[in-house]
Amino acid sequence: MLTMPVPDSAVLAKRDAIAAALRAIVPGEGVIAQPIEMRAFETDGLTAYRQMPLVVVLPETTAQVSEVLKYAHANGIKVVPRGAGTSLSGGALPLADGILLGLSKFNRVLEIDYANRCAVVQPGVTNLAITKAVEHKGFYYAPDPSSQIACTIGGNVAENSGGVHCLKYGLTANNVLGIEMVLIGGEIIRLGGKHLDSEGYDLLGIMTGSEGLLGVVTEVTVRILQKPETARAVLVGFPTSEDAGTCVADIISAGIIPGGMEMMDRPAIHAAEEFVHADYPLDVEALLIVELDGPQVEVDHLIERVSAIAKANRSSTLRISTSEAERMLFWAGRKAAFPAVGRISPDYICMDGTIPRKRLPEVLRGMTELSAKHRLRVANVFHAGDGNLHPLILFDANDPDELDRAEKFGADILRLCVKVGGVLTGEHGVGIEKRDLMPEMFSEDDLAQQMRVKCAFDDQGLLNPGKVFPTLHRCAELGRMHVRGGQLPFADIPRF
């Protein structure tokens, strides 16, 4: 298990006074201090980790957020921001000595501006609610993480969330035009707006995906797009994952960027088929769903080209959707892959590495070996177009040894991803889950520079500490820190 920083007993002792101070800022039911009522906030999408917060505050206005942060800053109290709590990396895991700052009351769509193709929303609006608010005019918000019914746009900004369509339409960072945010000192700033690009440093770029460590987002302006005229999908089975992998490479080399391109391995295919009966072929090693979207004439043309490429790569089965119902059926299994795996195992953890696609067969072979080594099963779903792998490790959390083995298995998978030139996380974030693996990918100088940027935003390290970075440093010392030969200075600073 990963450990969190040791709580500050002086802060714990002041809990009642802190709750009272927060009540002076956020009246009524906006401050929650009863353990039974705080229970709902003790974990997020990484449910193996639980921690009761010091106190929960649910402000309703940007001014209140500003006052809460100003108070925390003046009193040296940690703050953990939270949207819907769907993070799969533990980004919203509370701290025993930290205020949990929930943005759930920021739930209004403020403005829809079709003429300028954007929507201004509060951070607690769910991803799907943005699309719902504009779909009667044929528009949608492009990034579509699978938790889109629950996850909020504020959390999407914090995690730079992706989805199955991000190869063609981009991640959150490519679809956010502006934000209003509050710094830990209470200063309210605006980055971007309805216009494009920044007048100075791209602070919107660094905020997006900063996992709640740099500031609290209180308003978001997103780009909205007109929906493609139509979409069709091809479902292709392959006798080996190598064939599926070269098929994906050939599609992209042919100049085709599909709206979605998803791969599943044999265990994932079987679990999904047993669950939703999508009529998936069961005698294949890899299944590919390629979705083309756009005008009918373009989609029909590209479907033919993709089918020809698939056949040239030894596809053993190939079906083209002929109706919207059939297209949805192709997707049904893939979209239900996580709950499907949930049916065949008491628990699973979902990993999130990205690899250069051409290394896929090697990584899958490596994973099979690791599966034997750790004595746990693994099923793979894969955003094949952009190389983002989601291995699902099956285990039983009631057995502490299995949880331990599952975490070690996951860490080994991510090390393998980095070893072949990939990264620890493609879209779920580092959080606590991959925190201690950061040195696999980054040198100490790389991390020191990221932490210096953190200090430029948060001089006392009060925002979401214990996430992303494997070691804590005091900002004043980081400014002078030069790590040489792997020797970490300041051995007195607690590491966890």
Partner 1 sequence: MADVVKPASLAELAECVRSADTPFEIIGSGTKRGLGRPVQAARTLDMSGFSDVIIYEPEELILETGAGTRLADIEVLIAAKGQQLAFEPPDYSRVLGSAHSGSIGGLIACNLSGPRRIKAGAARDHILGIHGVTGMGDMFKAGARVVKNVTGYDMPKLLTGSYGTLAALSAIILKVLPRPETEETIVLEGLDDTQAIAHMSIAMQSSCEVSGAAHIPGEGTYLRLEGIAPSVAYRRDQLARTLGQPVQVLAARSSMAKWQAIRDASMFAGDLTRPLWRLSVTPSDAPRLIALLRSQMDLRHCLDWAGGLVWIEVPPSADAGAAAIRTALPSGHAMLFRAPDSVRAAVDVFQPQAPALAALSSRVKASFDPKGLFNPGRMSRVS
Task: Candidates 232, 334, 335, 357: give the one binding partner 1 (CB under 8 A).
Answer: 357
DSSP character string of 285-299:
SEEEEEEEEESHHHH
Binders of partner 1 in range 23-52 (CB under 8 A): none
Of 32-40, 80-88, 181-189, 308-316, the segment contacting partner 1 by CB under 8 A is: 181-189
Task: Candidates 426, 461, 465, 466: give the one binding partner 1 (CB under 8 A).
Answer: 426
Q: How far is CA 475 from CA 448, 458, 459, in A?
A: 10, 9, 6
Binders of partner 1 in range 456-485 (CB under 8 A): 456-457, 468, 479, 482
Q: Could you give the CA distance from residue 477 to residue 339 in angstroms, rounded to a whole number? A: 46
Query: In this complex, which beta carbon is closest to partner 1, that of residue 432 or of residue 468?
Result: 468
Angle (CA) 412-418-424 rounded to 5° is 80
Query: In this complex, which beta carbon is closest to partner 1, that of residue 30 or of residue 162?
Result: 162
Task: Candidates 355, 376, 381, 392: give the one binding partner 1 (CB under 8 A).
Answer: 355
Of 24-32, 94-102, 261-269, 435-443, the segment contacting partner 1 by CB under 8 A is: 435-443
Task: Candidates 84, 203, 350, 392: give the one binding partner 1 (CB under 8 A).
Answer: 203
Binders of partner 1 in range 77-116 (CB under 8 A): 114-116
DSSP class of 421: T
Q: Could you give the CA distance from residue 262 to residue 291 in angstroms, rounded to a whole number? A: 9
Q: How far is the CB of 471 from partner 1 (least distance, A)?
A: 14
Counting residues that bind partner 1 (by CB under 8 A) gives 95
- C-alpha torsion angle, residues 400, 402, 407, 408 (rounded to 10): 110
Run of H or E including 416:
helix 400-419
Angle (CA) 486-487-488 rounded to 5° is 110
Q: How many CA atoms lie within 13 A of 344 on its CB side?
A: 21
Task: Candidates 52, 63, 188, 231: give the one binding partner 1 (CB under 8 A).
Answer: 188
Would you give the binding string for partner 1 spanning residues 270-309, x where CB under 8 A is met? Answer: ------------------------xxxxx--xx-------
Q: Going by C-beta distance under 8 Å and a sequence separation of 6 or more, which residues neighbour residue 387?
A: 354, 355, 356, 357, 360, 422, 426
- One-letter identity of residue 490: F
Task: Candidates 187, 324, 401, 404: give the one binding partner 1 (CB under 8 A).
Answer: 187
Give the closest residue to 100 by CA, choosing from 51, 149, 154: 51
Binders of partner 1 in range 143-172 (CB under 8 A): 159-160, 162, 166-167, 170-171
Query: In this complex, which beta carbon is closest to partner 1, that of residue 29 or of residue 201?
Result: 201
Give the closest residue to 247 by CA, choosing from 407, 103, 382: 382
Query: In this complex, which beta carbon is closest to partner 1, that of residue 63 or of residue 403?
Result: 63
User: Which residue in this structure is represented by tokens 């030969």?
Assistant: 485
Of 2-10, 120-128, 233-241, 450-458, the segment contacting partner 1 by CB under 8 A is: 450-458
Binders of partner 1 in range 230-259 (CB under 8 A): 249-250, 252-253, 255-257
Contact at 8 Å (CB) between 325 and 268?
no
Cα-flanking dihedrals φ and ψ of residue 171, to 5°?
A: -85, -175
Task: Candidates 334, 434, 467, 473: give the one binding partner 1 (CB under 8 A).
Answer: 434
Indicate whether 486 belongs to the interface with partner 1 (CB under 8 A): no
Indicate whether 422 belongs to the interface with partner 1 (CB under 8 A): yes
Of 92-100, 209-217, 314-322, 398-406, the segment contacting partner 1 by CB under 8 A is: 209-217
Q: How far is the CB of 202 from partner 1 (least distance, A)?
A: 5
Q: How far is the CB of 459 from partner 1 (least distance, A)?
A: 8
Mapping DSSP to helix (H, G, I), strand (E, B) and coil, where does residue 197 land? coil
Query: In this complex, which beta carbon is closest to partner 1, that of residue 174 or of residue 316?
Result: 174
User: Which residue in this structure is represented by tokens 């500003």?
Assistant: 66
Task: Candidates 70, 117, 314, 405: give the one binding partner 1 (CB under 8 A).
Answer: 117
Q: How far is the CB of 481 from partner 1 (least distance, A)?
A: 9
DSSP character string of 205-261:
HHHTT-TTSS-EEEEEEEE-EEPPSEEEEEEEEESSHHHHHHHHHHHHHTT---SEE
Q: Note the residue count of the chain.
A: 496
Indicate whether 488 belongs to the interface with partner 1 (CB under 8 A): no
Contact at 8 Å (CB) between 423 and 359?
no
Indicate whether 209 belongs to the interface with partner 1 (CB under 8 A): yes
Indicate whether 75 belongs to the interface with partner 1 (CB under 8 A): no
Give the closest residue to 228 by CA, choosing from 168, 146, 171: 168
- One-letter identity of residue 304: E
Q: How far is the CB of 419 from partner 1 (least distance, A)?
A: 12
Q: How far is the CB of 23 from partner 1 (least distance, A)?
A: 27
Run of H or E including 189:
strand 188-192
Query: In this complex, which beta carbon is closest to partner 1, that of residue 29 or of residue 197?
Result: 197
